[in-house]
Amino acid sequence: MNTLASSAAKPEPWYKQFWPWFLLAIPGASIVVGMMFLAVSIKTWDGLVVDDYYKEGRAIVMTIDRLALAETLGLSAALTIREDALKVDLSAADPASVPDTIRLTIAHPTRGGMDQELVLRRHGGVYAGVIEPLHQGRWLFQLEDESRSWRLNGAAYLPTETEIRIDPSGS
């Protein structure tokens, strides 16, 4: 009888029990998640933080003036985006104030490497150009004249919004 009691009291080895594995899983999972965050942070770049706030503030005021000039000229644009091309129909209160050449900047809000800048020339009242295919997501569109005296800003969620109306009032 003494041998029966001693064999029942013998504990299982630690690796066959639940709690040691449960307690080791918590730091193990945090190491795996930490490595994933490290890989993502190495692969992506967030850009630089601006340290000259005064200069940035002045640039914002200049941008507001450029938007006001676009509103004064009565400018508005209709963008039609296709997979690898786009068309811009620019109109103004005075058709003579519509330039022959415009600059279009297509920017991704978080990925600077995906941005595109185009110089578009007017052909038959419409500006057209070839673009690199745009990925799904939100994109910012900025139209300017060559001298950068006025500016129109717009945004779209692609691929659902392929026709965008831009006017300086923001509506």
Report pLDDT for 25.
95
Under the phi-then-psi rule, with left for phi > 0, alpha for psi from -120 to 50, and beta for the rest, what region is 158? Answer: beta
pTM reported for the whole predicted model = 0.64
Under the phi-then-psi rule, with left for phi > 0, alpha for psi from -120 to 50, and beta for the rest, what region is 102? Answer: beta
Report pLDDT for 28.
96
Report pLDDT for 110.
85
Report pLDDT for 70.
85
Pick the CATH number of 53-166 from 1.10.10.10, 3.40.605.10, 3.40.47.10, 2.60.40.10: 2.60.40.10
Task: Calculate ∠ Cα 75-115-53, nearest 5°.
Answer: 80
Close Cβ partners of 20 (under 8 Å, ≥ 6 residues apart) = 14
Report pLDDT for 3.
56
Low-confidence ranges of the chain (pLDDT < 50): 171
> Around 43, how many Cα atoms within 13 Å sit in the side-chain half-sphere?
6
